Structure 1
Amino acid sequence: MNELERRYHRLLRAYPAEYRRARGAEIVDTYLDLAGPGRRWPSQADAADLLRGGLRQRLRAAGAADLIPGVRLAAVLAFLTATALAAVWSVLELHPPPAKWGVPSAGPFVSLGIGVWAAWLLAAVVYAAAPGRWTRRAVALALLLTVAVVPVAALAGLPHPPLLVLLPQVGLGLVALGLPERLPARLRATPLLAVGAAGLAGVNLLPRNDIISYYGWTAEQILPGAAVVLLVVVLLLGAGLALRADQRGGWALLVLLTPVGLLSLHILAGSADGLLNGAPRPGWSALAATAVVVGVAGPAMLPLAIALRRRMRRPAPAEPANRCPTCGVHR
C-alpha cells in the first residue's frame, strides 16, 4: 500500500464501519484510478467528496438521510430573511440624525453598517445570476463583513450597527452557507423580490420627522417580527412536506432554531431578566447570557434529534425460539 492509498483509507473513516468493509476497497480503487501520476496527497475535491459521502452514509444509517435536504431548505429561508433585513437596514442607514444634534455618524450614513448591508444585497444579486460557488463566496464575504464591522468601527472611531442587529445576521448567514447549487431561476430571483419588498417597507418605517430610530424601537420591532414570519413559514412548509412523508421541514426547523432565537433575543432576554430582577428592559448581562444559551442550545438539538432517530430505528431484539410469542412462557 503506497502513501496515497493509505491517505485515502484514512479519509474513508468518515464512512460507517459496515459500509467501509463492504465497499471501501472499491471506493479507494476508483479514486486511485482517477488520481494523476506521481500524486502523493488526495486533492481537496476528493477529500471533500469523501467527507460528504461519509456524512451522507452515517446520516442514512441513523435514519436521518433527509437532514441534508432540510439544511438546504433552511439555508434558502435564512438567506431570504438575511437579505430582506439587509434591505430594511440599508434604507434606515440612509437617514442619519441631523448634524446639529452632535450624534456620531459615518458621513452621509448612520454607521459603517451600510457596507455590510450592501454586501448582503450583492449576495442576493449573485444568487440570482450565478448560484453555487460564487454565491457561497458572496455569502461568506457578507458574513465576514458582518463580523468585522465591530472591530473596524472601533478602530476608526465610527459607529456600527447595534449587536442586537448584527448577531441574528451572523446566525442567518452561517445557515445560508448551505444554499443549494441548483434551483429554478424563478426561485433564485426570490431574494431579489424579498429585497425590493423589504426596502419599500423600510421606507414606510421611517418616522415623519426624519429622526432615525435604527438603535431604538425599530430594531426591537422588526427583529421579532422577522422571527415570527420565519417560524410560521418553516412550520407551514414542514406541515405540507410531512403530509407527503417528507421530513425536510422538521430538520429545517431545528437548524433555524438558533437564528429564530437570535432574532427574538431582546424578547427572550427581557423575559428572563424580568423574571430574575423585575426589570422592564433587559440589561447587557441578560442579553449576553441569553445569546450564549441560544447559540449553544440550538445546535445541540441536531445531534440529539439524530440520536433519537437512530434509537427509534434500532430493531427490537428477536424472541428466543423456545419462548411462546403469545404468553412469553418458556416451552
Structure 2
Amino acid sequence: MIDLERRYHRLLRAYPAEYRRARGAEIVGTYLDLAAPGRRWPSPADAADLLRGGLRQRLRAAGAADLIPGVRLAAVLAFLTATALAGAWSGLELHPPLPQWGVPHAGPFVSIGIGVWAAWLLAAGVHAAAPGRWTRRAVALALLLTVAVVPVAALAGLPRPPLFVLLPQVGLGLVALGLPERPPVPVRAAPLLAVAATGVAGGSLLPRYEYLSYHGWTASGILPGAAVTLLVVVLLLGTGLALRADHRGGWALLVLLTPVGLLFLHPLAGAVDGNMRGAPQPGWDALAATAVAVALLGPALLPLAIALRGRVRRPGPGAPGARCPTCGHTAARVP
C-alpha cells in the first residue's frame, strides 16, 4: 500500500465502521484517482472533506442527521443577534462623557470598542453582498478584534467594553461561523435591517442622555432583553418546524444555549450572588463563576443529546421509519 493510500485510510476512520466496510475502498479509490502524480500526503481540502463527510455519517448513524441544518439555523439567529447588538453598542459609543467630567474615554468615543462594533457592522454588509466564505472571514475578523480589544486596551491604557458585553458577542460569533453558504436574499439582508432598526431606536433614545456607559441599565436591560428575544424566536421556530417533523429547531436551541446564557449573565450571576431577582451589580467572582459554568454546561449538552438520540431504539433495516445508513432518510411506510 502506497503512503498516500495509507494516509487516506487513516482519514477514513472519521467514518463509522459499517460505512467504511461498505464504501471505504470506493472513497479512497476516488481520491487516489484525482490525486496529482507524486503526491504523498492528502491535500488540506481532501482532508477537510473526508472529516466533514465522516462527521455527517456519524450523525446520521446516531439519528442526528438534522443537527447540521440546526447548526446553520442557530448560526443565522446568532449572527442576527450579534449584528443588532453591535448596532446598539455603536450608538452608545457615540455619546462620550464631557471632558470636564474627568471620565476616561477614547477621543470622540466612549471606548476603543467602537472598532469592534464597526467590524461586526462590516460583517453584516459582507453577508448581504458576499455570503459564504467571505462572510465567515469577516466574522472571524470581528471575533479576533472582540478578543484582542482586552489586551490592547490594557496596553494602551484606554477604556474598553466590559467583559460581560464582550463574552456574549464572542459566543454569538463562534456560532455564527456556521452560517450557510447560499442563504436566501431575506436572510442575507436581515442583519443589515436589524442594524438599521437598532440605529433608529437608538437615535430616538440616546439623545435624551448626555452620557451613556456599558454599566447600569444597559447591562440589566439590553443584554437580558436580547437573550429573551433570541430564546423566544428559536422556541417559536422550533415549535413550527417540529409540527412538520423537522427537528432543526431543537438542535438550534441546544447550540444557542451558551450564547443565551452569556447574554443573561447578569441576572444569573445575581442569583448566584444571593439575590434571586438578580443583583443590579453582582460581584466579579459571581460573574466569573457563572460565565465558566455557562461556557461548560452549554457545549456539554450537545454531545449528551446526540448520545441519547443514538440510544433510542430504531426499526430494523428496511422497516418503515428506518434510516438509510447512506442518506439518513427514513424508509417510506407501506399503506
TM-score by length of 1: 0.93
Does the CA contact (< 8 Å) of 2:64 and 2:306 recur in 1?
Answer: yes
Aligned partners of 2:168 and 2:59: how far apart in 1?
A: 28
Q: What SS does the aligned partner of 2:253 have?
A: helix
Segment of structure 1 superposing worse, 184-193 or 129-138: 184-193
1:273 aligns with 2:273: yes
Amino acid at match of 1:236: L
Amino acid at match of 2:113: G
Does the CA contact (< 8 Å) of 1:273 and 1:281 recur in 2?
Answer: no
CA drift of 1:184 comes to 1.5
- Residue identity over aligned pairs, in percent, reads 83
Aligned to 2:109: 109
Amino acid at match of 1:47: A
Q: Once superposed, what is the RMSD of the aligned Cα atoms?
A: 1.5
1:13-60 per-position Cα deviation (integer Å, ceiling 9, x unaligned): 000001001100000000000111111111111111100000000000
1:113-133 per-position Cα deviation (integer Å, ceiling 9, x unaligned): 000000000000000100111
CA drift of 1:315 comes to 6.0
Does the CA contact (< 8 Å) of 2:15 and 2:55 recur in 1?
Answer: yes
Amino acid at match of 1:186: P
1:5 aligns with 2:43: no
Aligned partners of 2:202 and 2:155: how far apart in 1?
A: 29
1:233 aligns with 2:233: yes
1:125 aligns with 2:125: yes
CA drift of 1:219 comes to 2.5
Matches within 5 A, 1:43-62: 43-62=43-62
Aligned partners of 2:222 and 2:312: how far apart in 1?
A: 40
Aligned partners of 2:172 and 2:269: how far apart in 1?
A: 19
1:198-238 per-position Cα deviation (integer Å, ceiling 9, x unaligned): 11122233262412133322122100000000000000000
1:14 aligns with 2:14: yes
CA gap of 1:55–1:209, structure 2 versus 1, over 3 A, is closer
CA gap of 1:106–1:281, structure 2 versus 1, over 3 A, is closer
Amino acid at match of 1:307: A
Does the CA contact (< 8 Å) of 2:86 and 2:121 recur in 1?
Answer: yes
Aligned partners of 2:246 and 2:166: how far apart in 1?
A: 33
Aligned partners of 1:213 and 1:160: how far apart in 2?
A: 11
Aligned to 2:262: 262
Q: What SS does the aligned partner of 1:214 have?
A: coil
Aligned partners of 1:287 and 1:168: how far apart in 2?
A: 13
Segment of structure 1 superposing worse, 229-238 or 196-205: 196-205
Aligned partners of 2:275 and 2:79: how far apart in 1?
A: 34
Aligned to 1:221: 221
Aligned partners of 2:189 and 2:93: how far apart in 1?
A: 25
Where in structure 2 are there 5+ consecutive unaligned residues?
317-335
Does the CA contact (< 8 Å) of 1:63 and 1:313 recur in 2?
Answer: no
Does the CA contact (< 8 Å) of 2:219 and 2:266 recur in 1?
Answer: no
CA gap of 1:228–1:280, structure 2 versus 1, over 3 A, is closer
Aligned to 1:72: 72
Aligned partners of 2:279 and 2:244: how far apart in 1?
A: 47
Amino acid at match of 1:77: L
Q: What SS does the aligned partner of 2:204 have?
A: helix
Aligned partners of 2:205 and 2:298: how far apart in 1?
A: 31
Aligned partners of 2:312 and 2:128: how far apart in 1?
A: 40
Aligned partners of 1:204 and 1:291: how far apart in 2?
A: 33
Aligned partners of 1:205 and 1:217: how far apart in 2?
A: 13
Where in structure 1 are there 5+ consecutive unaligned residues?
317-331
Does the CA contact (< 8 Å) of 1:268 and 1:290 recur in 2?
Answer: yes
